[in-house]
Structure 1
């Protein structure tokens, strides 16, 4: 998010890397590290999925910037949603064909029928992409990413606490890591507010 905002790839334009923004980004990383590694150590964490998830986050920052810019140029709120889901549908169709060919060759019987509620993910995705493309124009990529991360962590914590299978995995380190990440989002939000106030004063002077 820092890099994307610094390069001005998003619709909010170029935002310099300030100490407050850098500290907020580093604090978020610390919070996630505390939540993931602090309770159980690195021996119980699958590093490859963690690294891949990190790369997904890197790609997501660039995607949000491009989505917001496309949304601003086209002036159509659902244009980015259409592009994202059209691309995803084509990819899923290709993967479905590959899986079907593998099964016809005796490669396995598949995982069975998914539960009905799993299909709600697509509907949630439509809303998320449309709202994200709009919101990133006003917040920038870094602040949007930190606020989104905070919402994901809070919801994940609530879901884990609601399930008897995962409730016992929630310890002090997880809650502490979540608190640190929320503090990072708050710090970035305050810095953004100050930056907007300074810009408004300069414009009126």
Structure 2
């Protein structure tokens, strides 16, 4: 519902199903993998009693995969690609990833994959709205429907966070 509300202003010129459906399906697939990753990170962190193990494994496997991909590209004689970023702040994304994975490995065991995923999305929306308002990358600021959609997401997180007490057995 929150996504529909935030997308209402853009529904006047509806694009073809192919230009919307494929990216949406990729996003759903990525979300499924993210939920699986969070569950596995939580299990890894619990097995060794430290979120650092899950964080290290994620970045070690990711680095190995990227190294293999770069090697394959180099051996195939592919184009060298764009230059690497030179400004120090452009590498903060990696630090954010380390913090996110470590935090998620701790939280997923306490609040579950669903609530962690919902809260992560709510946090992404809040951060995105702030960034678009303070440091806009396009020519339009977040509109009222976008903010309303984000607020609905926070309401959903609040509702999902309410836990019903377990039934007592005699």
TM-score in terms of structure 2 length:
0.84
- Paired position in structure 2 for 1:55: 29
Q: Secondary structure at the match of 2:4?
A: helix
Q: Which residue of 1 aligns with 2:93?
A: 121
Indicate which of 108, 130, 151 corresponds to 2:102: 130
Cα pair 1:64 1:141 within 8 Å, conserved: yes
Alpha-carbon separation, structure 2, partners of 1:141 and 1:33: 23
Identify unmatched segments of 5+ residues in structure 2. none
User: Is contact 1:161-1:167 (8 Å) kept?
Assistant: no
Q: CA RMSD in A?
A: 2.4
Aligned equivalent of 1:8:
none
- 1:4 corresponding residue in structure 2: none
What CA deviation, in whole Å up to 9, does each residue of 1:77-109 have, x standing for no partner? 21111211111011110122233345xx3x434
2:48 is aligned with 1:74: yes
Give the match for residue 177 of structure 1: 149
Note if 1:111 corresponds to 2:82: yes
* Count of residue pairs brought into register by the alignment: 165
Q: Structure 1 stretches of 5 or more lacking a match?
A: 1-29
Segments of 4+ in structure 1 off by > 4 A?
A: none
Give 1:202's aligned residue: 168
Task: Tell me the TM-score normalized by structure 1.
Answer: 0.71
Question: Which secondary structure state, in structure 1, belongs to the residue aligned with residue 41 of structure 2?
Answer: helix
Q: How much has 1:174 moved relative to structure 2?
A: 0.9
